Structure formats: C-alpha cells, structure tokens
Amino acid sequence: LLLRWRRRRRLWKKVEEARQRQERSLVQMEMAVWRFREQHPSVNMVSILNLPLPELSKKLRDGSLPPEHVFYAYVGKALQIATETNCITEYLQESEIQLRKAKLPEKLGLLYGVPVSIKDSIDCEGHDSTLGFIKNLNKPAAEDSVVVQVLRRQGAIPFVKTNVPQSLISYDCNNLIFGQTFNPLLYTRSPGGSSGGEGALVGGGGSILGFGTDVGGSLRFPAAFCGICALKPTGNRLRSSAMNALFWSLPVVAAVGPMAKDVESLALCMRALLSEDMFNLDSTVPPLPFNEEVYSSTRPLRIGYYETDFFTMPSPAMRRAVRETKQLLEDAGHTLVPFELTNIDYVIFNFCTRGMFADGGTSFLKKFKGELEKSSMGLFFWLMKSPSWLKTVLSWIAKPFMPRFSHIIRSMRANTVDEVWSLHHEIEDFCHQFIAQWKKLNLDVMLCPMLGPALGIGYPGKLSVAVSYTMLYNALDFPAGVVPVTRVTDEDEQELKGYKGYFRDWWDRTLAKAFHGSVGLPVAVQCVALPWQEELCLRFMKEVEAL
C-alpha cells in the first residue's frame, strides 16, 4: 500500500508539473503579445484576424503584411480562446526564434509566415506528445514529425500544441493531465475529438490552420462540432511519424490532415504539403503533387448520396442538411444518384471494433498500465480483461435484449493469426465491392451525413457506437472532408421529439438526449472521393461550400 501510495503521489506530481507548464505557456503568450503591442500600438489585429488564409498568405509573400504582425495577432487570439476553452497544452516558444529568422528567407514557401497549430500527438522537437497519458510526460520528441518538418520548410510557424482525449480513442476531448476542452460556440458542448483542441482553437479563430489525425473521425468530428472545414486524406497521402501514437495493429487506416475555416485554405495547405519536401523526407509517400487541373475544374459532377446508414439514425438537422445540399447541387447542374449502403453494422463491429482490438484489447490495455485513471471506459476495460469464454457467454446472454452490445462483446475477443489474416482479406473484399458499386453508378464523389450537432460534454464517451458515419471511410481508406452547411432550427428541435433510433436501445435513447437543446449550432455534411483523389474531394467541398 505504501509503495502504491508513493507511485500515485509521483504521478500526481508529474501532472501538477505539466499543468504548471501549461500555465507558464499562457503567461509567456500574454507577455509576448503585451511586448508587441507596446512596441506597435497602431497595428490593427482585428483586420489581420479577419483575412482568409489565401489572402493572408498572399500579403505575407508580397511583403505588404509583416510576419510578426500576423504572428502576434494570432498568439493574442489563441490566448483568448485557450482561456475560454482550455484547448492549448503548450506554447512553442522557439516559434519566436523562427519568426525572427523568417525575415531573411532564402525562398518564400507557400505558407511563409503563417502561424499554425499542432495536435498533441504530432511530434514537435523538444516537446511532449502525451496522448493524454501521464507516462508520456517529460519525454520530449527527438525531432519534428515529417508533416511539421515540411510545414517549416514551407515557411509556416508552428506556435502551439493542442489538447486531446486520453489514448485518442474518443470523440470528446478530456484527459487527466490538462482536463476538459470546451466548444467555443457553446461551452456546455464537446468540441469533438480526438483533435478537439484543434477544433476549438480553429473554430474560435485562434488559429488559421491546424493539423490533426483521424482514425475514426478525429478530424471530422471537431470540424463538424465547431463549424469549420477539415480533410481526412487517404492514409498515406500525407505522413506524420507520430502515427506510432496510434498504437494498435490497424486494418482501419489512420491519416493526418488539415483543419481550417474554409475549403480554399485546406487546398492551399495541401498544395504546400504535397511538395518535393514531403516526398524527399518520407519515401513511403507516393510522389503525387497537388493536381491543380482537377481542383480547378468546373465540369458538372455525378454525385452519389445517402441520408442514413441504417445504423445510427440521423438527427432531423443531419437529414435536412443532406437533402438541402442535394437540392442545391441539382439546381447547380450536377447529377445526384441515390447510393444504398448495406451491412454497416457488420462493418462497424467486425471490421472496425474487431480490427482495432484484434488481440482482445491486450495492446490497448498495456497503454493504460500505471495510469492514474482508466479514462471513462470502465466497462470496456473490464470486458477486455475478461477471458474469451466469458465474452462469448455474455454476448449470447445480451443478444436478445441488447444486440449491439452483444456484437461489441463478441468483437472484443482475441483472434488467432489466421482470423486476423481473414479479417484483412474481408476488408479488402468489402472495399472492392464498395468501389464496384461506385463505378457501376459512374460516380465522381459522394455526399454523406455527418454526426451533429455538437453533443454535450460527456456524451461522446457514452456514444462510441455513433461513429458509423465517419469510421466507414477509415475502413475503406477513402479521402473524406467536412463542410458546415446549416444550423439547427426550432423545427429540427420539434422533430427530435419523435427520434427513436433504429435499435431503440440505451444508446439510441442517450443519443436523442444528446441532440436536444441545439438550436443555432452548426451541422455539416461529409464529402467523399475515391482513394488518392483528394483534389476531387476538395473540389466537391468547394462546390458545397459555395452553394
């Protein structure tokens, strides 16, 4: 007991030190902004913050806007948003040194002088990548991840790291070290996750361009919940050495991608990243530069669409968002074709849950060994620790009353090597069938629902089954973007009274409660393309945004 008490005391001391560092970071930001304002009282910070990224970048590159004016404008705004939402974990003080060097560049990159924010799990030299784990504190990264190196070479200035949920397996944003991050649009709502700190900071205007990762919707949830845009590329189109942060053997593919207020900013970012710098630093990335012709094309598109996946019943606002967008696209001269999804429950349980916990959750549990708190997933931890025979029995007992819970228990049992190989083959076959259906309809892109509006704090932890709309495209490894298109109306709120869900179980009832009281909050749609067609995906997103 004494040894256990001492160990816990040491861990709490590490947490306290990390929180003090976070506080010092905010003080450093405050002092830096104060010094700048003392020296430059006439600089109009608001006008700088109102510039969209393409225009800001142009002014920085032609010299009409000094980089330090932009930098300190965003440091000041980021400090305000961090105070309100608790989204920043660390200020990268070396960014001020990079800023001074930026005045004498050898060549101007596409993102010259642009301050950017980085998700906690993406390595920045000299700083922790905690993933919300206490054991990862005081273990600074030896070098920048590939994506950060490319950003620096393109002239961007990474200036803060942002908060994540413990382990990244959540679409909320809370951990024992830095606490809960709040949605800048409504503080009682979650900002989404796992790139929740990025969503809150970009959504609140404290960063003009942010970077996160996505293994089940971790870019798309924060973007949808905070009313901004995001792009999850094909898994290997961009590279971050921080992918080892996603620590399980994955048939479900992880990706690193950008978040911004508008689609043109995402396109500019992709132009900068899909450069020789990326291809030289990581030879596993296909040397496919940004295809300007595809992105700039104006030819009418043939677009597949669906309003529901028949697994997670869409909220009235979600359904309306797809219908209204479909109508606008048709009116603009595009062809809309209904697309029928089948067996999504099998995809979620057998490919995603079983794929992520193929060893029965052993690797996942190891990551939590020695931590003070096992996040909010107590029941799942107990299930993972249970022997396979008990999981089978519990699954059989639960099946008549809670079919989804029964499937989750069954998908968490340990698999043999032969079963894992079969699972990989099944996923490949499913992907080929999905593409065959896509090609048969001669589609260019797909319009899909996106879970929304933002759920209340604490609800995402109870509603892990509601990731079906996003997780599908990680299993398929298709590029998928999110664009906000509408807001929840009083009529949507009225219709929500009839929301029952497809399974009418505890999860459906909880999701109905989570949707309530959301009038005025943004609702987004997903825009999807085939693998390696990020430019077409962005072109479709731009079309949706414009309409």
Pick out the residues of the known binding site for substrate.
168, 194, 215-218
Active site (annotated) includes residue 369: no
How far is the C-alpha of 101 from the C-alpha of 94, rounded, in Å?
11
Helix (H, G, I), strand (E, B), or coil: what is residue 395?
helix
The residue type at 385: K
How far is the C-alpha of 242 from the C-alpha of 120, rounded, in Å?
10
For 237, list phi and psi in degrees, rounded to 5: -70, -35
For 230, list phi and psi in degrees, rounded to 5: -150, 155
Residue written as tokens 């704090």? 457
Contact 479, 533 (CB under 8 A): yes
Q: Which of 57, 218, 241, 386 is catalytic?
A: 218
How far is the C-alpha of 182 from the C-alpha of 171, rounded, in Å?
12
For 273, list phi and psi in degrees, rounded to 5: -75, -35
Binding residues: 168, 194, 215-218
Q: Which of 25, 77, 95, 119 is catalytic?
A: 119
How far is the C-alpha of 43 from the C-alpha of 399, rounded, in Å?
65
| Tokens found for residue 154 | 């393109």
Q: Which of 194, 386, 406, 468 is catalytic?
A: 194
How far is the C-alpha of 517 from the C-alpha of 497, rounded, in Å?
11
In terms of Cβ atoms closer than 10 Å to its own Cβ (0-12, 13-18, 19+), residue 305 is buried
Strand ranges inside 174-254, DSSP E: 174-175, 179-180, 210-214, 229-232
Active site (annotated) includes residue 218: yes
How far is the C-alpha of 169 from the C-alpha of 131, rounded, in Å?
10
> What is the set of active-site residues?
119, 194, 218
